[in-house]
Amino acid sequence: MKYLVKNKTVRTDEACNPNCPGRDCLCPYDYIGCTNLAYCPFPDGVKTMPGRKKQAK
Amino acid sequence: MIISKYNFMIPYKDGKYLAYNAGTNDLAIMETDEYEAYEKLEKEGLEIENVELKERLMEGGFVYQDNIDELDVIRMKMNQVRFGQQSLGITIAPTSDCNFRCVYCFEKNVIQPIYMSENTEQSIIEYIRGKITQIKQLNICWYGGEPLLGYGSIKRISKKVIELCEENNVVYVGSIITNGYLLTEDRIKQLVNLKVKSYQITIDGGCEMHNKRRALQSGKDTYDVIIKNLKKLVEYDGLKISIRVNVDRENAKDIQLVLEMVASLSEKENVFCYLGHVEAIEGCYKEETCLNNEEYAKLSNEFNERLKEKGMPAIIFEEYPKVQYGGCCATVNNGFVINADGKIYKCWNEIGEQKHSVGEISDPFWNEKYRAEYVKFMAYDPTQDEECSKCKFLPLCMGGCPFKRVNHKQRCYVKDCIKIEHMMKKMANNLLENAEK
């Protein structure tokens, strides 16, 4: 059993900025293209996906 | 040993399975024999003999050693976030005034030429001073009305608060939600110096459509000025710029034009674009013009696909689900919204509606008075909801928008719309492809 994603967002006390403008709606549809990272002022706190491919412009 | 009810076991390739747990948000790939051992536990109650596999499954929350109620685990995590003390997040509206008259504005009934007084500014600073030794992060989001109409307050509060944070080793980050019209180059320079790092600006389509929906109070056009300002903004390094397209039936066909505009704005990976869902909050807009949830989800998906084609950033990451134990500022103890008149609210959607106020910032004991509107949000607990408590998606959704659930009794709308199997397969493909490179 090999983990592809582990402990990615399970950060309890220091989760996203509670007032993050990207969280103005918790509509689950947002998960499909959630904008949290776009706004997150603490991007280091949200672990980057391993091996995320940088897309060509 | 018990099996988590938040497991999703998805057939993958060559007899392998993808194992996703919504409670931990972990994703793993299982060999055929590993999955068979898991399946025997699930279906026949046969203990897993492979000690290593058992350990691995426990790490990801797929199985529990003890006989626990998983809803208690979720409730525990939710409360950890809800009552955490390390960060303080305040949304401040330096004015209730706005220079725009957007057709769908949910604040249109509360727009007033009220500007924050120096006394209110001072009360905010004193409130933060009282909290500063207990926190590690302070986030202030400038909101409105149009916050740049109250720029003097932004400047004065920011300067004091930044000093306080520096003296106490607290990380400070500012963000702003602005229509972008007053975001001149000079203003951008000043805001950057005031540590405003994130900017949300709304463009509602091509020039004609945008001007029709987001005109000045006088009725004049705004598109060209905003684009000119945006071009200056993207030149600054270290900023996050989010372009929001508030979408409904009227402008759904225009989103391609925004996409092309955004793609041409910058080569940097600091410009993001997404669709916002226009809703008729408290009757602020025509219900029939709004997209329903399914339509919005579909359009949002298509938009994201087009973003990917254009090489826009961060989309792969953002498709991965997020665990929402914390909810939003409405449901965390250290999050609230302060209006220009000093009245405090728990939810952005309620700003200016005085009946929803939870206190006044000039009152040092406001948050010990437990106003009904405060308790309403803080006591909201989706794990107690009959439908949510049985739902496999609960950790990813936590009941959805607390405003909608608490005020409008909106029922669950998640079930079929998170295409989790499709999403996980796509995610695994991406991850495995990259691991092989």
The 3-state secondary structure of chain B reads CEECCCEEEEECCCCCEEEEECCCCEEEEECHHHHHHHHHHHHHCCCCCCHHHHHHHHHCCCEECCCCCHHHHHHHHHHHHHCCCCEEEEEECCECCCCECCCCCCCCCCCCCCECCHHHHHHHHHHHHHHHHHCCEEEEEECCCCHHHHHHHHHHHHHHHHHHHHHCCCEEEEEEEECCCCCCHHHHHHHHHCCEEEEEEECCCCHHHHHHHCCECCCCCCHHHHHHHHHHHCCCCCCEEEEEEEECCCCHHHHHHHHHHHHHHCCCCCEEEEEEECCCHHHCCCHHHCCCHHHHHHHHHHHHHHHHHCCCCCHHHHHCCCCCCCCCCCCCCCEEEECCCCEEECCHHHCCCHHHCCEECCCCCHHHCCCHHHHHHHCCCHHHCHHHHCCCCHHHHCCCCHHHHHHHCCCCCCCCCCCHHHHHHHHHHHHHHHHHC
SS3 A5: strand
| Helix B185-193 × helix B151-167 angle, to 10° | 20
* A7-11, A15-19, B71-75, B422-426: which is most confident: B71-75
Question: Between chains, do A31 and B348 touch, taking CB under 8 Å as contact?
Answer: no
Task: Using the predicted structure, report yes or no on whether residue B212 has a pLDDT greater than 80.
Answer: yes
| Dist. CA A26–CA A46, nearest whole Å | 17
Closest partner residue to A35 among B85, B272, B398, by Cβ?
A: B272
Distant-in-sequence, close-in-space partners of B149: CB < 8 Å, separation ≥ 6: B94, B95, B97, B98, B99, B115, B182
Q: What are phi and psi of B42, to 5 degrees?
A: -70, -45
Closest partner residue to B320 among A5, A18, A28, by Cβ?
A: A5
Q: Which pLDDT score is estimated for B410?
A: 63
Decide which of B367 and B209 is more confident.
B209
Assigned token pair, B435: 């691991």
pTM, two decimal places: 0.82
Interface A-B, measured as beta-carbon pairs within 8 A, has a size of 223
Distant-in-sequence, close-in-space partners of B264: CB < 8 Å, separation ≥ 6: none
Mean pLDDT of B95-116: 91
| Dist. CA B385–CA B390, nearest whole Å | 9
Question: Between chains, do A31 and B303 touch, taking CB under 8 Å as contact?
Answer: no
Burial readout B227-251 (b: 16 or more C-beta within 10 A, e: otherwise): bebbeebbebeebbbbbbbbbbebb
Question: Between chains, do A38 and B272 touch, taking CB under 8 Å as contact?
Answer: yes
Task: Using the predicted structure, report yes or no on whether residue B404 has a pLDDT greater than 70.
Answer: yes
Mean pLDDT of B132-151: 92
Share of chain B above pLDDT 90, in %: 52
Q: What is the mean pLDDT of chain B?
A: 87
Decide which of B179 and B27 is more confident.
B179
Which of the 8 DSSP states describes residue A24? S
**Closest Cα of chain A to B400: distance in Å?**
5
Task: Using the predicted structure, report yes or no on whether residue B227 has a pLDDT greater than 60.
Answer: yes
Decide which of B279 and B341 is more confident.
B341
| Dist. CA B91–CA A41, nearest whole Å | 14
Decide which of A41 and B383 is more confident.
B383
Return the H-helix or E-strand segment holding A38.
helix A36-39
Closest partner residue to B325 among A15, A21, A51, by Cβ?
A: A15
pLDDT bin (cut points 50, 70, 90) of residue B251 is: very high
Q: Which pLDDT score is estimated for B170?
A: 92
Q: Which pLDDT score is estimated for B434?
A: 54
Q: Which pLDDT score is estimated for B430?
A: 63
User: What residues in A contact B314, CB-CB < 8 Å?
Assistant: 37-38
Question: Between chains, do A29 and B417 touch, taking CB under 8 Å as contact?
Answer: yes
Task: Using the predicted structure, report yes or no on whether residue B56 has a pLDDT greater than 50.
Answer: yes
Q: Which pLDDT score is estimated for B97?
A: 95
Task: Using the predicted structure, report yes or no on whether residue B260 has a pLDDT greater than 50.
Answer: yes
Task: Using the predicted structure, report yes or no on whether residue B423 has a pLDDT greater than 70.
Answer: no
Q: Which pLDDT score is estimated for A28?
A: 28
Please list the residues that pair with B21 across neighbouring strands.
B7, B26
Task: Using the predicted structure, report yes or no on whether residue B20 has a pLDDT greater than 80.
Answer: yes
Closest partner residue to A9 among B197, B303, B323, by Cβ?
A: B323
pLDDT bin (cut points 50, 70, 90) of residue B257 is: very high
Decide which of B362 and B28 is more confident.
B362
Amino acid identity, residue B92? I
Assigned token pair, A10: 């399970």
Specify whether the CB–CB gap between B303 and B269 falls below 8 A.
no
Give me Rg for the CA atoms of chain B.
Answer: 24
Task: Using the predicted structure, report yes or no on whether residue B416 has a pLDDT greater than 80.
Answer: no
Q: Which pLDDT score is estimated for B140?
A: 93
For B186, other C-beta atoms within 10 Å of its C-beta total 9
Task: Report which of B57, B7, B20, B25 is spatially closest to residue B325, judged by C-alpha positions.
Answer: B25
Decide which of B250 and B314 is more confident.
B250
User: What residues in A contact B86, CB-CB < 8 Å?
Assistant: 13-14
Q: Which pLDDT score is estimated for B264?
A: 85
Q: Which of A11-25, B70-84, B275-289 has the lowest mean pLDDT?
A: A11-25
SS3 A48: coil
Q: Which pLDDT score is estimated for B12?
A: 85
Task: Using the predicted structure, report yes or no on whether residue B224 has a pLDDT greater than 80.
Answer: yes
User: What residues in A contact B316, CB-CB < 8 Å?
Assistant: 49, 52-53, 55
Distance of CA B2 to the CA centre of its chain: 33
Task: Using the predicted structure, report yes or no on whether residue B418 has a pLDDT greater than 90.
Answer: no
A12–chain B Cβ distance below 8 A for any pair: yes
Q: What are phi and psi of B53, to 5 degrees?
A: -65, -40
Question: Between chains, do B240 and A38 touch, taking CB under 8 Å as contact?
Answer: yes
Cis ω before B145 (30° cut-off from 0): yes
User: What residues in B contact A18, CB-CB < 8 Å?
Assistant: 87, 89, 139, 326, 328-329, 332, 334-335
